[in-house]
């Protein structure tokens, strides 16, 4: 199995995310939504995995369903070499964005270039990359035991049904690809979040 073979993991996690998103309460619409009621039963949620979580999951070389610090250390230099396509010893913004699009499915992932580039050189050096991955690992390791388990990779998103796009008062777009905001179809620009 290749180091960054994310296709199987991505398909399984994407399927789980879609099922979780579609598994919200159905049936007759509750009229209390339009009355501003903040009843928790009116909220919908989804459990998702951030693209960077997929990266950590793929570092699980022994396939014990958790990634430990040793696996992270082994993967760091291999991953840096894969991203540094021109073998220049640094990762440029273009190299990082191209890799992120292919490996993480998002050209501008949550953990983007700026979060690794601590000296603001618009490039990532090997030590910056290693430090960034260690910080990423620590952010997922909720119990601080030096291992990131699959359940630590999941994030709960709570979306209030009253503000999710349909039935909003005050005009505006009903959502769509950009989310729609206050009469601006598709939202108002910005980078895509991953």
Whether 137 contacts 72, CB under 8 Å: yes
Helix (H) or strand (E) run with residue 39 in it: none
Domain interval for residue 53? 43-157
Q: What is the pLDDT of residue 161?
A: 55
Count H helices, E strands: the chain?
Answer: 7, 6
* Count: domains in the chain: 1
Residue 13 inside a domain? The answer is: no
- Find the Cα–Cα–Cα–Cα dihedral 28, 32, 33, 36, rounded to 10°: 180
Q: Is 69 a member of any domain?
A: yes
Residue 102 falls within a domain, yes or no? yes
End-to-end CA distance of the chain, in Å? Answer: 26
pLDDT < 50 positions in the chain: 1-7, 11-20, 27-39, 41-42, 167-194
Buried b (16+ CB within 10 A) or exposed e, 49-70: bbbbbbbbbbbbeeeeebbbee
Residue 52 is predicted with a pLDDT of: 84
In this structure, what CATH number is given to the domain that contains residue 128?
1.10.238.10
């Amino acid at each position: 199995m290749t180091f960054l073979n994310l296709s199987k993991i991505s398909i399984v996690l994407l399927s789980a995310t879609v099922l979780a998103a579609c598994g919200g309460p159905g049936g007759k619409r509750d009229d209390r939504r339009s009355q501003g009621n903040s009843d928790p039963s009116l909220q919908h949620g989804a459990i998702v995995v951030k693209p960077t979580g997929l990266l950590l999951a793929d570092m699980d070389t022994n396939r014990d369903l958790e990634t430990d610090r040793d696996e992270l250390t082994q993967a760091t230099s291999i991953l840096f070499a894969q991203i540094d396509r021109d073998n220049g010893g640094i990762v440029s913004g273009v190299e990082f964005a191209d890799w992120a699009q292919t490996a993480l499915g998002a050209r501008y992932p949550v953990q983007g270039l700026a979060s690794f580039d601590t000296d603001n050189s618009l490039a990532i050096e090997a030590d910056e990359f290693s430090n960034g991955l260690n910080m990423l690992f620590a952010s997922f390791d909720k119990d601080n035991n030096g291992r990131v388990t699959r359940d630590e990779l999941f994030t709960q998103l709570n979306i209030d049904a009253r503000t999710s796009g349909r039935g909003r008062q005050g005009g505006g777009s009903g959502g769509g690809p950009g989310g729609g905001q206050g009469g601006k179809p598709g939202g108002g620009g910005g980078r895509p979040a991953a």
